[in-house]
Chains A and B, each alone.
Chain A
């Protein structure tokens, strides 16, 4: 069955960096766009970025202002999110999600990122 397992979350100080990973299994990873979506504690869902099957096409929400970079390694069936200049408002659960036609089909369980001094 489809599995998406995020890792790399944790506590980081403001201004710090973190790299999230997502390991995929149970489907042909290289056939799918992938997205990162986050959810701040007690808040709604926010789409951050997607990447095409090959990695050649990426898109970001404007509010990230270049601080985050999405990437993938199809040989390793893995998706990544490099996050830098982290702020308190980046505190959230980050989900890795398969994306078809900008619709979010399969979701990981999420990894919590806490930005605090």
Chain B
């Protein structure tokens, strides 16, 4: 199984900050990497697919990069509605696996 490791597991940031979350796969997954946002009590929402493609309707302050085993989600200018937990997920092979999540909290 491909293990997905996210870091950090949590972070505190202020509105307007630039935030970077990393995700590492235990083996190469080329660009088969997706990012999701989950707010408390809500279902996750797809933000970015295939490592760097913004899902329709997602603000352009979100961006993704990386390939192979190392990936990054960047929020350029944190907004109040961005405080949430973020998960990466590999879509390269079954079993499909998620990272452990990164909780972005208000400083």
Contact = CB atoms under 8 A, between A and B. Distances in A.
B87 A109 contact: no
Contact of A44 (B50, B95, B98): B98
Interface centre among A47, A104, A108 (most CB of B within 10 A): A104
A110 B45 CA distance: 13
Contacts of B84: none
A1 to B, nearest CB: 12
Contact of A45 (B1, B95, B98): B98
B44 A107 contact: yes
Nearest to B93: A102
A104 B34 contact: yes
Sort chain B's interface into a size bin: 20 to 34
A62 to B, nearest CB: 6
Task: Determine chain A's interface SS by DSSP, over half rule.
Answer: strand
Contact of A46 (B36, B43, B98): B98
B97 interface: yes
Contacts of B94: 59, 61, 102
A47 B96 contact: yes
A101 interface: yes
Interface of B: 1, 32, 34, 36, 38, 42-46, 49-50, 55, 87, 89, 91-92, 94-101
Closest 4 CB pairs of A and B: A102-B91, A107-B43, A47-B96, A61-B95
22 contacts: A44-B100, A45-B38, A45-B44, A45-B98, A47-B89, A47-B95, A47-B97, A61-B95, A95-B43, A95-B44, A102-B32, A102-B96, A103-B46, A103-B50, A103-B89, A104-B34, A104-B89, A107-B43, A107-B44, A107-B45, A108-B43, A110-B43
Given A45-B89, A102-B96, 16 more contacts: A35-B96, A44-B87, A44-B101, A45-B98, A46-B98, A47-B89, A47-B97, A47-B98, A50-B96, A95-B43, A102-B91, A103-B89, A104-B34, A105-B46, A107-B45, A110-B43
